[in-house]
Each structure stands twice: as structure tokens, then as C-alpha cells.
Amino acid sequence: MDYPKPKFGRRDELTPVIKTGFGIFKNKRNYLDRMTVPGHFPIGFTGRRQGPFVEALDSKRKYYFDATNYWMTLPIDVGRHFGKNTKLQTNIGFSLLNAGSTSEFGSVALAAFVARMKRLWPRMNRILPFNSGTQATDAALKWAMAMVMHKNKLKPKDMKVVSLESGFHGRCGMGLEATRKSKNTEDYQTYVTPRIPNPFVVFEENGFVDMVETENNVTRALDKLTKYFAKPSTAALIIEYPMVAEGGAEKIAPEFLIEARRLCDKHGKFLIVDCIQMFGKSGNWFPREVKQVADAICVGKYSRVCAAMLTDPTKRKFDDYAGIPGKFGATWFGHDAAMISTLAIMDVIDKNKLFVNGVKMAKKFYSELKKMTAKGMRVERPRIVGTYVGFDIRGGRDKRDKVISRLQKEGVLALPAGEVSIRFAPRLDTKEWEIEYFLEKLQNSLKRL
Ligand SMILES: Cc1ncc(COP(=O)(O)O)c(C=O)c1O
């Protein structure tokens, strides 16, 4: 089938400083590996996108279909919606060049952002914006630890939080502590976060739910949680919801969330729901049940500005335990430019009711995956929540990794999850041909595996 091809044109708009980076990437291919963190796919991203395609300086391809970044962290095709909006671009540009630090000035962008997030979750009493999701989970966890520590007259060194065996909450600070143990993380973890078994929905190979095994998973997780919650030093439970993303694109059983809330009330603990990856991907900004039961919600990715959104369950004054609120902040505290872009993007999504389209596209994708499963094409356990889709590749981690690298050869960048899975969240304004394009490349990559 013929698909639209991107035309990126000339690079006149690049400043001389950025052109230096261009030269480095072309001539010293391992420079980023040596000097910093090169990212999953070091393809030399130029910053230019067209629809789902990203321009690359890779010697193998001029562009890639981006089912990682674009489908996972940008909710809409910004070129399509904002191409001619110079007012917006000027606002963002000026705030990047000129902005006063939000820790010194209360800015109008911050006021608009806070009001928008309060509308999303009216139970929220305070929001702490940050530049990364990791900082947001870090702040939410420290907040919960401080609250319970004061109540139980303990010291910071005594405090613990509970997380899931396969959780992912960040790459430094408390977020890393709560992330699953692996050979990459354990050198940095100090055991302040005991784990409980994953309360995952169990899918059979064909994608149907095994109710009995799901219930067993929930019971195992709740039993262990009850044990940890009996200790005064346990401050909180942190979970991703409605899906554990990085740790396998697995669905959390909703009854676990409800029961965990009941246990938090019983033992005086906090329930922190990390929606950093799922924000805007559950068919809405948040799942309704999260808004009902959480003490804190963390957001990121789609929101660009990351944030810890906090309620005030103990009615304790915020300043009592954290000194001045600025102690939780930072010089850029989310950054005005990110707030302005987030608000513009959220506006487009709301006005055009784009969640409806996103879910429709994800369902199309999911139903094709189910057909592939029925045909015995190595695709197993397809699962979906809102716009978030996961599936396994039969044959273990090696085979899954092979599919990802074959996809890259086909010009498609796709994200792994857990040991054997691949995950996607099509953009909310994804077009039908993009789903077909991706499926065609996936099928090519599965051949003769
Ligand atoms: C669920 C979840 N929490 C926290 C984070 C950390 O966010 P960031 O990478 O912005 O620090 C991530 C990032 O992938 C995530 O998926």
C-alpha cells in the first residue's frame, strides 16, 4: 500500500549553534554514548516531525515512523494543529528566552496551569510542577513520608513506602527507589521500598481474561500490603494505574485499587497513583476511579509539565512539615514554556474531543492484533486500556528484541515493555493509515522469526 511520505525540506531555520550538533552527530557517531545518555534510539533526531515521522541524521534512513516518542509523549500532531499559530510560538519562544524563574515570580502561565489541573481534579489542594516525572514521584513520596513520619513520631531514616514488583517510577531519587529491582537499578537502591506481588489482570494467550488467576493475584498483593501497612514506618503505596507501563504494559485489576484505598484508610497510609505514563491515555485525562480514591496523583509525558498533585487528607497545613512550599520547588519549577504548550495542547484535545478518535484507533489496532493471535502469528496476550495497547511476542525476550530491531530496519521505532512485550499508545489524533502502516511493518517483522 502507498502511504504519505514526509518532506522535511531545507534546514535554513537551524541556528549556527544547533548546526554544530549536526556536524558532531554526522562525524562522531558514538559521541553521545560516551558523553551522555544517548536514548533508546540514537538516530540523530533533528527536532523536525511531520505527522508520525521524525527526521533523522542516521546513515541508514532519513526518517523513521515514530511509535515511541510521538505516539507515547506527544498526544497530537502539533504541526497539523499549530503550524500557523505564530502567537503561540512567540509566547513559548519568549518564555524560554526571557522567563523569570517561577521560584521568584508567580507567573501567569503558572496560574493558568494550576487552574486547569484543579479543573481536572477538584479534590486537589496543591500542585507541585516539575521538569521530570521522576521529580514528581520523588516529591509525592517525600510528602507522604513526611506526613506519616510526623503522625507516628518517627525519623526520616525509619520511613518506607510500598511499590509493586514491576513498578516504574523514575530514574533517580525516590522514584528510582520505587522502581522494580533489576541488575540496572539495584546498585542504586537502598531498600526503603518493599515490594508486593503485581495485582495484574491475567490474560490468556488469546487475550481473554482468566478471572480466577486475576483474583489470586489481587489476594496475594493485598495480603502482603496488609503486612507492610501494619508497620508504623510504612508511609504509602505507590502504583501505576490503570496500567503498569514500562514494566510490561500490564493491566492492574481495578478491585486492587479500591481495596488498597480501604487499607490506606484503615492504617492511616497514603495512596499515590503514578499516572505519569498513563495521563491522557486511559480514554480520558485520568480514570474516574483514580480521581475518587487517590491521595496524590503524579502526571507527566503528555502533560509536558510534570507534576505531583496532592490532596490534604490529614488537613495538616502544608507548611507545617515542609517549611515554605518553595522547598519542594526548583528554579524553573515545570517551566513557563512547558505550561503554555501543555495548555494549548490540552485545549485542542478538549475542543476536538480527541479522546474519542484515540480510543477508536487503538481499538482498531487491538482488534488486528487479536486476529494475528488467532492466526498463530507469534503475537500473544493482546491487551488494551483506553489508547494504551500491549502485546507479547511468543518465544521470549530474544525474539521480542529481534522484532523491535527488525521494525527499526523497516523504519519504525517501537518500545519494548517488561521481558517479552511491546507497547503503543497511538496519538489521540492518529489517522487510520498510520495504524495500517504500523501493522504492515509489524507483520513484515514477524515473518520467519
Ligand atoms: C509510570 C512512570 N513514572 C515515572 C516516570 C519518570 O518520568 P520521567 O522520565 O519524566 O522522569 C516514568 C517515565 O517513563 C513513568 O513511566
Mean pLDDT, all residues of the chain? 91
pLDDT of residue 417 exceeding 60 = yes
Cβ of residue 335 lying under 6 Å from some atom of ligand 1: no
pLDDT of residue 184 exceeding 90 = no
Q: How far is the CA of 179 from the centre of ligand 1 (A)?
A: 10
Cβ of residue 245 lying under 6 Å from some atom of ligand 1: yes
Residue 69: pLDDT band (50, 70, 90) is low
pLDDT of the residue at 217? 98
Cβ-based burial of 398 (10 A; exposed 0-12, middle 13-18, buried ≥19)? exposed
Name the CA radius of gyration of the chain, rounded: 22
pLDDT tens per residue, range 219-267: 999 999 999 999 999 999 999 999 999 889 999 999 999 999 999 999 9
Residue 320: pLDDT band (50, 70, 90) is low
Distances (CA, A) of 190 to 32, 161, 241, 351: 29, 12, 25, 46
Q: Which residues contact 10 (CB under 8 A, 6 or more apart)?
A: none
pLDDT of the residue at 26? 83
pLDDT of the residue at 209? 95
Contact of 256 with 196, CB cutoff 8 Å: no
Q: How far is the CA of 27 from the centre of ligand 1 (A)?
A: 32
DSSP per-residue codes, 76-106: S-HHHHHTT-HHHHHHHHHHHHHPPPTTTS-
pLDDT tens per residue, range 94-145: 999 988 888 788 899 999 999 999 999 999 988 999 999 999 999 999 989 9
Contact of 243 with 199, CB cutoff 8 Å: no
More confident residue, 178 or 324: 178
pLDDT tens per residue, range 9-27: 888 777 888 888 888 888 8
CA-nearest residue, atom 4 of ligand 1: 169
Please choose from 68, 130, 134 the residue to mutate so as to test ligand 1's pocket, defined by most ligand atoms within 8 A of CB: 134
Separation CA 241–CA 261 (nearest Å)? 13
Cβ of residue 170 lying under 6 Å from some atom of ligand 1: yes
Residue 323: pLDDT band (50, 70, 90) is very low
pLDDT of residue 299 exceeding 90 = yes
Cβ of residue 248 lying under 6 Å from some atom of ligand 1: no
Please choose from 243, 277, 297 the residue to mutate so as to test ligand 1's pocket, defined by most ligand atoms within 8 A of CB: 277
Give me 334's grid cell: 515545570
Q: How far is the CA of 43 from the centre of ligand 1 (A)?
A: 22
